[in-house]
Amino acid sequence: MSVLLAPGPVPVLKEISEAQCKEMITHRSGDFTKLYGDLVTRLKNYFGAEEAYVITGSGALGLETLILNLCERNDRVLCLPNGEFGDHQATTVKVYADAVVQRLEDGKGWSLERAKPFIDESRANVLAMVYNETSMGVRNDIREICKYAKSKGMLTIVDGISAWPGTEFSMQEFFVDAFVTGSQKGIAAPPGMALIGLSKEAAERYSKRANIPSYYCDLRRHKKRYLQDQQTPNTPAVTLFWALQKAFDVLDAGGGLPAAVKRHREASEHVRSRLKAMGFHLTAEAGFESNTVTGFVCRDAEQAKSIKAKLATDYQIKIVGARGKYKDNGLRMAHMGNFEMKDLDACLDAIGKIIQG
């Protein structure tokens, strides 16, 4: 058996995988109504959302759904990227609205102190950010930044795709109006579903719009069908929805969000301290380290290549390369989802042996 320590898709527990192996049902049935009603209720509770939906598609589709439903051409959207996924978010915003982009160097984290001048100067009415910048293993301080942005009357959209449920979060406490995560990340279900949450303000905003530039992603259709019979407007990935329900059972049984956050935080601290003890620098600025993925810088590109290759061939452990500024000499190791500490330690032990030659 190989060990997958990539930041999504993450390994899927057997019981979650097997939840998909049932006799097919139609999505226009009472059974589906029960299933989707349960998923939406759990999502609303976990996020603290006014409305929640599961969109069949990857995380990026969920993010685009939020943006196109909430931003119009005449909206000025302040985007604060600090890595590849923040760049993708800004590119998506540009398709639908007027984007003002302020970027931090790869590896640096957004604090309120850094974001405040841009919020003050931008004259933007929407803020779009990434919570956990997966490409760098950086966690941005969305709590303080969104709180300040809301005090300035802005609507806040957060990509939490690789953050949740490994990182503290509540839409209300974090002043977030629109949030998305992906099924293949911390909830550790198979890929193919975007989980989105909306605040009351965000729900009112899209509901009032006359034109939304999408058919499939038009949340007015999702809402209408949900209110009618707790179903989805188009055929959903029914089998994946079963898996997601089981993934929620596993999350609940493990102690819910507080326990998931603690488990991820402790694992991240352990991984960072062992990597530092081996002499590696981290890709993330101190104070902004991610709970779910750690990036580390190797001596040079050759060492990075050799660690990644030897882990795969000699130890059957799969980690991934870093991105951006560290794409040649950096590596990333995930501690996301239902990982086991013994696998993280096996990976770290192996890295130690490889670098000793």
Question: Of how many residues is the chain composed?
Answer: 357
Residues 202-261 contacting ligand PLP, CB under 6 A: none
* 294 φ/ψ angles, rounded to the nearest 5 degrees: -120, 130
Of 91, 85, 20, 96, nearest in space to 59 by CA? 85
Rounded to the nearest whole angstrom, what is the least distance from the CB of residue 105 to ligand PLP in the complex?
A: 17
Q: How many angstroms separate the CA atoms of 129 and 160, rounded?
A: 9
Of 308, 310, 313, give the one whose Cα is nearest residue 330: 308
User: Closest separation between CB of residue 312 and ligand PLP, Å?
Assistant: 20
Answer for which of 82, 122, 125, 134 binds ligand PLP (CB under 6 A) is 134
Q: Which is nearer to ligand PLP, 11 or 231 (CB)?
A: 11
How far apart CA 203 and CA 59 sit, in angstroms, is: 20
Shortest separation between residue 57's beta carbon and ligand PLP, angstroms: 8
Total residues interacting with ligand PLP, rule: CB under 6 A:
11
User: From the CB of 314, what's the least distance to ligand PLP, in Å?
Assistant: 27
Q: How far is the CB of 149 from ligand PLP (least distance, A)?
A: 19
* Of residues 137 and 233, the one with the C-beta less far from ligand PLP: 137
Q: Which is nearer to ligand PLP, 32 or 326 (CB)?
A: 326
What single letter denotes the amino acid at residue 142? I
Of 77, 130, 250, 261, the one binding ligand PLP (CB under 6 A) is: 130
CB of residue 134 to ligand PLP, shortest distance in Å = 3
Cβ at position 159, least distance to ligand PLP in Å: 5
Tell me how far apart the alpha carbons of residues 158 and 63 are, in angstroms, rounded to a whole number: 8
CB–CB of 322/295 below 8 Å?
A: yes
Q: Tell me how far apart the alpha carbons of residues 54 and 30 are, in angstroms, rounded to a whole number.
A: 18
Note whether 8 binds ligand PLP by CB under 6 A: yes
- Tell me whether residue 25 or residue 60 sits nearer to ligand PLP (CB atom): 60
x-marked contacts with ligand PLP along 54-93 as a string, rule CB under 6 A: ----xxx------------------------x--------
> Three-class SS of residue 164?
coil
Q: Which is nearer to ligand PLP, 181 or 231 (CB)?
A: 181
Q: 195 or 219, CB closer to ligand PLP? A: 195
Provide, rounded to whole angstroms, the least separation between the CB of residue 332 and ligand PLP: 11
H or E element: which one contains 262?
Answer: helix 256-277
Helix/strand/coil for 55: strand
Query: For the window 141-170, what string marks contact with ligand PLP as x by the rule CB under 6 A?
Result: ------------------x-xx--------
Three-state DSSP class for residue 352: helix
Rounded to an integer, what distance in angstroms lies between the CA atom of residue 65 and that of residue 175?
A: 19
Q: Which residue shows structure tokens 């609303």? A: 44
Nearest one of 335, 348, 354 to 166, comparing CA atoms = 335
Residues that bind ligand PLP (CB under 6 A): 8, 58-60, 85, 130, 134, 159, 161-162, 182
